Amino acid sequence: MGHYGHGLSLLTGWLPVAIPAVTAAVLLVALVRRAGRRWYLVWLPVAAVVGLAASLLVREQVTADGLTDDPAPVVLWIWIGVAVGAAVVAVVGWRRTPWWRRTLSILAVPLAVLCVASVLNQWVGYYPTVQEAWGAATAGPLPDEVDDAQLASLASASTRPAHGALLGVDIPATASGFTHREEYVYLPPAWFTGSDHHPALPALMMVGGEFNTPADWIRTGNALDVVDGYAAAHGGLTPILVFVDSGGSFNNDTQCVNGPRGNSADHLTEDVRPSVVSRFGASAEPASWGVVGWSMGGTCAVDLAVMHPELFGTFEDIAGDLGPAVGGKDETISRLYGGNAAAWARFDPLTVLAAHGRYADTAGWFEDSSGGGPGSGPGGRPGFAFRGGPRRPTGSGFGGQADPGAEGSEPQEAAQLCTAMTAQGIACTLHTTPGGHTWQVAATSFADAFPWLVGRVQGGTGVGTAQTTSTAGVPAAAAAVAPTGPTAPAGNTGGATAGGTTS
């Protein structure tokens, strides 16, 4: 099966430049040399004002809803205004207009919308290539994906497969009642024993970002490349990976809590985890389970770990927030919890930590972007190695421009959480990766932490003391904290060294 990351880049090269260039040319021809002064004095200004108003309205809504910590690129708001203005032009300029100009006016609207999508994609690095975008749009096969019959055949074979298998699963929402999409379970080569008896492997729950599908970590986060590569170097032994649906639909931002948007927390803890244990024989021990999340998913990882130490002993928070949020505290209580302030407190990590007392054996890895440039390869790191050798660089999303050392930035909030956790016996480390708030940074961060995650969940053991790197504005007390578990498994060569990458 071909690997993701190859193909015509949507993040760098000629295509992201050609799309707005062609759109601007079509718009220019559609707008100029129109007959009558009324067009230039009335209708064209009307289209511009409506486009500007629409752009400001969308920007205000995004800010009010707290949809992103990183500031969006200015060009995004410009193209939103252009798209709306182009639609107005197509309508008001329809009469007394030649057919070819009408055609161009209509064509300019989807082209401007395509520019909005292109800038959004460049911002977060969602689809690095045309092929990946097409595969997602057409529900193309995922790496290592098998169906039930193929899985049964692999499980009964006398030889172990060269790499793991990915199975789409429909986990009953018996406990939560949460309406969700198909989720995925990755089974490493060590799971296949040629019989019905499978080893009680550890497991990692993988949670995506705010607007997500369960396949995001697979298509865009390159998780299977990292895991299969590690398995190839370690006798086929890695944790089971569970790619969960925390939203139920692409635009339903649950923040992994229970509330009017659905009982997402109950689904993850009371539906998904027990199902993976019972169906695939995963270990039920809390020390054998970890949670990994990016952006909103990072917030979820922290929340699940501090609320449920009886279920999860390890977490990786990649660019998460201080707690579940969809705006300020009042907006969050209203939108996420239906006005129930007690529910907000129940899911607020700092409140939970203060009330819980000391934790017995929980550890976490915080990794945030340094706010640097996009880099030249996936994750902003040239030559990033995957199964099958280094990938051809396809660029990285550029993310926002927030100052990592600013008050309320993700590194600052990670340091605040880590300090509070240390006071309650949770070992945690702080790491940074060059780049912005993008999927490429998420992919690199997961690869950085994966050997540590494996060490933590395999047999309930962890790696030795990790040396963290301080970031601007991170309190020294938090930056000095390091996990205190035992050393990593012998022969551990996968991923980056403990301590992450620095800008």
- For 182-227, what is the HEC assignment? CEEEEECHHHCCCCCCCCCCCEEEEECCCCCCCCHHHHCCCHHHHH
Q: Where would I find the beta strands (DSSP E) of 221-361? A: 240-243, 258-259, 262-263, 289-294, 314-318
pLDDT one-digit tens code per residue, 218-236: 988 989 999 999 999 999 9
Residue 426 confidence (pLDDT):
97
Return the pLDDT at 6.
57
Q: What is the mean pLDDT of residues 43-61?
A: 90
**pTM listed for this prediction:** 0.75
Angle between the N-to-C axes of helices 223-233 and 439-457, in degrees from 0 to 180, rounded to the nearest 10 = 40
In the predicted structure, residue 159 carries a pLDDT above the cut 50: yes
Separation between Cα atoms, residue 84 and residue 81, nearest integer Å? 5
> Residue 472: what pLDDT?
33
Q: Distances from the Cα of 238 to the Cαs of 268, 311, 419, 451, in angstroms? A: 21, 19, 30, 10
In this predicted structure, the answer to whether residue 375 has a pLDDT above a threshold of 60 is: no
- pLDDT: which is higher, 140 or 92: 92
Question: Any bridge partners for residue 263, and if so which?
Answer: 258
CB atoms within 10 A of CB 445: 31
325: phi then psi, degrees, rounded to nearest 5: -155, 140
Q: How far apart are CA 145 and CA 25, in angstroms?
A: 43
Question: Is pLDDT of 388 > 50?
Answer: no
| Cα-Cα end-to-end distance for the chain | 34
Angle between helices 349-356 and 296-307 (to 10 degrees): 20
Listed residue (62, 112, 104, 103) closest to 84, CA to CA: 112
The residue among 479 and 84 whose pLDDT is bigger is: 84
Q: Which residue has the higher pLDDT, 402 or 306?
A: 306
Q: What is the DSSP letter of 11?
A: S
Q: Is the pLDDT of residue 43 over 70?
A: yes
More confident residue, 365 or 437: 365
pLDDT of 288-347, one tens digit each? 999 999 999 999 999 999 999 999 999 999 999 999 998 889 989 998 999 999 999 999
Higher-pLDDT residue of 492 and 315 is 315
Report the pLDDT value the prediction gives residue 122, as an integer from 0 to 100.
81
69 pLDDT band, cuts 50/70/90, is low
The two tokens of residue 227 are: 């895991």
pLDDT at 463 over 70: no
- Of the candidates 443, 365, 439, 500, the one whose C-alpha atom is nearest the C-alpha of residue 209 is 439
Res. 410 pLDDT band, cuts 50 70 90: confident
